[in-house]
Structure 1
Amino acid sequence: MEKLLSTLVENNVKYAVEGKVASYIPELNKADSMSLGICVTTLDGEEHCAGKYEEKFTIQSISKVITLMLAILDNGRENVFKKVGMEPTADAFNSIINLETKNPHRPLNPMINSGAIATVSLIEGENRDKIFERILKFTRKITGNPEINIDEDVYNSERKTGDRNRALAYFMKSTGIIDGDVEEVLDVYFKQCSIKANCRDISRIGAVLANNGVLPWNGERVIPGYVARIVKTIMVTCGMYDASGDIAVNVGVPCKSGVGGGILAAVPMRMGIGVFGPALDTKGNSIAGVKILEELSKELDLSIF
């Protein structure tokens, strides 16, 4: 497996020159655009990695998978999806168009920024520090990595430049989608996006989802199977933004990307995959990371379709 993964990295790193690192969050602009790594975690706990798989990056929108799990655990499926829809979008991940034009004014899905902000507003906790503490603790649990924390520089950069996200959040406050203090909700959202991880950590989250909510390394159930199923389904339809249809056809497994360059993939009952490549395509997905997943899926016949 390591030989295959190394070959995939060698074959696909060339595509990184066609992408650009995210620059609208200034700290993300410092990433090496030619970095590329991958890690696979199987359901018997084996791990296989290649390339720059140990390089840490902020998980950004991959965190939406984590907060969706927690929100459903806290509120139940019906209450979450009263506030957030389940439908794909053809618009950009930070678009405000659908919030304004659709009635009720709820976000289309939990994987775009508006939907993720609404989702985090549903997580229980006495205050923003307690809410984020729960998110961080849960992230450490499902990665098996107690050292995971946030990148303070990226957090501060996100907080200072997050005007579009503020617009989304205040609009949702005005329409009753978000209750409570908007700035507190946003602070948690900026922190969750700034969580630092590597390919191994991401692949372990994928393996937990692939294993229907059970930690492969010790057999502990952390979420009910129905929650894992919901999350995987929404990853297929919405996880790669307005490229989700292309990814469903060409990769065929539940995926979630982040503008830090990470991609989480969960192959049901087989493996979790974590990929890192900070050069992004025009949709905000890792350009070389997508190519690796396409080739790996064909090589191992991973598509669920």
Structure 2
Amino acid sequence: MVCQSNEELELLLEEAKQYTKNGKVADYIPALKKANPEDLSVAIYKADGTCYYAGCISKKITLQSISKVITLALALIECGEEYVFQKVGYEPTGDPFNSIVKLEMSNPSKPLNPMINAGALAVTHMIQGSSVDERLDRILDFVKKLSGNNEIEYSEEVAQSEFDTSHLNRALCYFMKQHGIINEDVEELLDLYTKQCSIEVNCLDLARIGIVFALDGKNPETNEQIMPPHVARICKTFMVTCGMYNASGEFAVRVGIPAKSGVSGGILGAVPNRFGIGLSGPALDDKGNSVAGLKLLELLANKYQLSMF
């Protein structure tokens, strides 16, 4: 598969790129401070196997919260829908992604959904294996299978940086452990979670992951059913309702596609039955989403009628 530069896409990217000045990189994770806030790139992978890009799509970013939708799919495959949603809820939240507020307000203190940090930690807790390394290998193998890239690994530097500064996530874990949502050693769970978030991909990898979700779990190149259709459907639903943190409602109105963002500036998009989209723009808005990336997706959605609504 060859990904081709596209002049029309380049023009849209240049229009969106001016918005990078309105954001800033995630400086609360020291290793992410090094990103260039002016970077912006996008790859679009179509259902017929053709691919187009604009910007430097080979530059690697870490998955961060994009990994949440991937581990959710893996947990649903391994544990089943009933078990997963005994521990994590279905509902959107208007709170920041790392908030503890709803855990204290809900009964039996389970996270509202798998896309906030508390819910993602509970989902990662479900990944099977006898050690952190074995469980991480299961996640990595799944990412490699989804992307078709067997070279994908995680950044030890970013993982360590996140692990050392994960004080809020530790608090979430201890709260959930107190209430029986998780029952493993908190440091081991955080070790796995920070490594999961530090898996390195590029825009093309993201676009190829996106098309698998867009095609209800099927790889368009091999026709392999990588995940059951109902798992892809559940994941896309959460991407629509919760995928862009507490800006998901506005994103649904302005863009209207299933998408998941991460604080490295990455965005994974899955336009049902049509496209997978991978995007990288490290300058973030105050919600933690790529500020120029959001604008580029809005331009794409308007130009090509991508909204599912």
Give the one of 293, 299, 302 matched to 1:298: 302
Q: Which residue of 2 aligns with 1:131?
A: 135
- Map Cα deviations across residues 235-278 of structure 1 (whole Å, 9 max, x no partner): 00000010000110000000100000000000000010011000
Partners in 2 of 1:5 and 1:38 — Cα distance? 8
- Residue 53 of structure 1 deviates from its aligned partner by 1.5
Give the one of 30, 33, 48 matched to 1:26: 30
Give the one of 127, 147, 151 matched to 1:147: 151
Matched, 1:76 2:80: yes
- Map Cα deviations across residues 106-133 of structure 1 (whole Å, 9 max, x no partner): 1111011110000010111111111110
Runs in 1 of length 4+ with deviation above 4 angstroms? none
Matched, 1:177 2:185: no
Q: Which residue of 2 aligns with 1:216?
A: 220
Q: Secondary structure at the match of 1:234?
A: helix
Which amino acid in 1 is paired with 2:188?
E
Q: Secondary structure at the match of 1:54?
A: coil
Gaps of 5+ in 2: none
Matched, 1:61 2:59: no
Give the one of 193, 202, 210 matched to 1:206: 210
Q: Secondary structure at the match of 2:45?
A: strand
Partners in 2 of 1:77 and 1:5 — Cα distance? 38
Aligned length: 305
Identity of aligned residues (%): 55
Partners in 1 of 2:240 and 2:81 — Cα distance? 18
- Residue 78 of structure 1 deviates from its aligned partner by 1.1
Partners in 2 of 1:238 and 1:207 — Cα distance? 19
Matched, 1:113 2:117: yes
Gaps of 5+ in 1: none
Give the one of 249, 270, 275 matched to 1:271: 275
**TM-score calculated relative to the size of structure 1:** 0.99
Matched, 1:241 2:245: yes
Partners in 2 of 1:285 and 1:114 — Cα distance? 18
Partners in 1 of 2:241 and 2:81 — Cα distance? 17
Partners in 2 of 1:286 and 1:295 — Cα distance? 14
The CA RMSD measured in Å over matched residues stands at 0.8
Give the one of 102, 106, 110 matched to 2:106: 102
Partners in 2 of 1:275 and 1:8 — Cα distance? 13
